[in-house]
Homo-oligomer: A and B are copies of this chain.
Amino acid sequence: MLTRMSSLFLRTLREDPADAEVPSHKLLVRAGYVRRVAPGGYSWLPLGLKVLRRVENVVREEMDAMGGQEIQFPALLPREPYQATNRWTEYGPALFRIKDRKGADYLLGPTHEELFTLAVKGEYSSYKDYPVILYQIQTKYRDEERPRAGILRGREFLMKDSYSFDLSDEGLSESYVKHRDAYIKIFDRLGLDYVIVAATSGAMGGSASEEFLAESSTGEDTFVRGPGGYAANVEAVTTPAPPQIPVDGLPAAQVHHTPDTPTIDTLVAFLNAHTERTFTAADTLKNVLVKISQPGADEWELLGVGVPGDREVDMKRLEASLEPAQVELLTDADFARNPFLTKGYIGPGALAANGIRYLVDPRIVTGTAWATGADKADHHVVDLVCGRDFTPDGTIEAAEVRAGDPSPDGSGVLTAARGIEIGHIFQLGRKYADAFALDALGPDSKPVRITMGSYGIGVSRLVAAIAEQSHDESGLVWPRSVAPFDVHVVVAGKSAELLDGGEALAAELEAQGLSVVLDDRKASPGVKFADAELVGVPTIVVVGRGLADGTVELKDRASGERTEIPRAGAAEHIAAVVRQ
């Protein structure tokens, strides 16, 4: 069915929206694809909905092809299943909670692990039923603290979530690989430039986990990669531990009076000025105090985090390491309540003496010697040796990751880039099967606990991710696989001849099986050309002055290349271009 610009519910904007910072947000609003309705809530206008549906169908086709079965759950869900897994509490303020007219607790589903687990438990009982992969493409809700960048991070969004159910760890690995392969096909079909990185598994629990990130300088996720192929989300980077050093014969620790040195910089400067040795920040041990609260707990626990002094604590890495606990820095009031913490001069000693858990960066191994706080104002201790003078309670990945750090695979050094998370696959294991006792009766009549995988794709976010990678100064440049139309026919003039010519060509193009938008408006050619560039259909055909001489102009939106082609046979020619 031909779409005519004269009646299409579309008004393009000349100006960027005031609240937009990233190109996809600016362009999707300016080109009339989406409109803001509330913080993190967008409406899809006709063009936007067409692109969204095309993306959705690519996802669906590949999910079906890999053997997934589509089902659909409600978005409004009862509390009980999420209570059973503790996610009702763990999800914290990001969960939209709601009471019905009878006062019963409900939530708007952020992901549906619980429901899928219960669904399989409800239908299946024998080992012969497995494996099974189920998925849905459904509107999801998360009460993001900072919704941003239009549809890139909304509070209501379309997501494909799938779940695999297997009898064994090997089966889970196979389901995981199936998903990984399907995701590769999906993102390739969508024309995306993406990278697969090692990831942490977030609040959903589980072990093996990878993220698909669309490379983009405006992405929220930072990742690193090494020359040997290693790639990881910054939260997932593991720090290689150096070899331990025998402590025998190492110099004894010495306390120094180091007035006015509450920072690493001032400490290093003081030591270099007042000792014979040369210190760098990397020789110092920085102890950062945080407080953490486990989900549902009313109390906060103090935690000491030790990192080499040349690195900051990366709060996102720290939070990922401590999930699902909440983490906050200490306030002045907290310090006042714990007078044994001497701000700027905290050392491992006071932590051990006061029963504070102390976790350190993996670089801080037995035998390494450090300059650190002496738990007394204006005093530090030098040559404090790990494993001799203090014993951490464990290690933690909390120090910042930097370009230039050694790649964990030993292949060289890491480089850093940014990306948009478009997919996430991970092996959940038996967390949810345990919560709901999901067992299959095995061939020996004994129960086999099912193991699960969980796999997500941000379908609405993909529209923005594609736009983020596919645009230029004039507007959007859609890949053919998701463009709202195959061809944009511009009638460059107001005469009846040109309009008839445009209508005729559009009809021929539709007869070729192409989807067409015809700009039949009474606007100037300049306005129409600008709108065509902005809207971003990959092939633009201009029906203009050349028509009288038997030609039309073909323009490739991506390359900008223009070609005069004969009007006779134009539809066949254009169909061949679109399908090439």
Contacts and interface: CB of A to CB of B under 8 A. Distances in A.
Interface string A55-97: 0000000001101011111111110000000000000011011
A38 B101 contact: no
A9 B164 CA distance: 13
Interface of A: 1, 7-11, 32, 35, 37-38, 41-46, 49, 52, 64-65, 67, 69-78, 93-94, 96-98, 100-101, 106, 108, 115, 119, 122-124, 132, 134, 139, 141, 143, 145, 155-156
Nearest to A72: B44
A509 to B, nearest CB: 18
B132 A7 contact: yes
A139 B49 CA distance: 15
Nearest to A6: B128
15 contacts: A1-B64, A9-B71, A9-B134, A10-B123, A11-B123, A37-B77, A37-B115, A42-B74, A43-B72, A43-B74, A43-B115, A43-B119, A44-B72, A94-B101, A101-B143
Contacts of A8: 69
Contacts of A69: 8-9, 46
A570 B123 CA distance: 35
B46 A106 contact: no
Contacts of A64: 1
A101 B96 CA distance: 8
A134 B7 CA distance: 11
Contacts of A123: 9-11, 32, 45
A547 B71 CA distance: 35
Contacts of A155: 76, 100
Nearest to A79: B38
Contact of A9 (B42, B49, B94, B132): B132
A443 to B, nearest CB: 15
B76 A156 contact: yes
A115 B36 CA distance: 11
A266 B69 CA distance: 66
Nearest to A101: B93
Contact of A71 (B45, B122, B156): B45
A9 B96 CA distance: 30
Contacts of A141: 76
A99 to B, nearest CB: 9
Given A37-B77, A46-B70, 12 more contacts: A1-B64, A9-B69, A37-B78, A38-B106, A41-B77, A43-B72, A49-B72, A75-B156, A76-B96, A76-B156, A97-B98, A101-B143
B9 A78 contact: no
A75 B75 contact: yes
B132 A38 contact: no
A416 to B, nearest CB: 31
Contacts of A93: 101
Given A38-B78, A108-B76, A65 B1 contact: yes
A197 B124 CA distance: 45
A72 to B, nearest CB: 4
Nearest to A53: B70
Contacts of A41: 74, 76-78
Nearest to A112: B43
Contact of A37 (B7, B38, B70, B73): B73
Nearest to A80: B38
Contact of A49 (B46, B70, B97): B70
A321 B363 CA distance: 78
A353 to B, nearest CB: 39
A18 to B, nearest CB: 15
A291 B77 CA distance: 36
A37 B117 CA distance: 12
8 closest A-B pairs by beta carbon, nearest first, are A41-B74, A93-B101, A44-B72, A38-B78, A11-B123, A43-B73, A98-B98, A74-B156
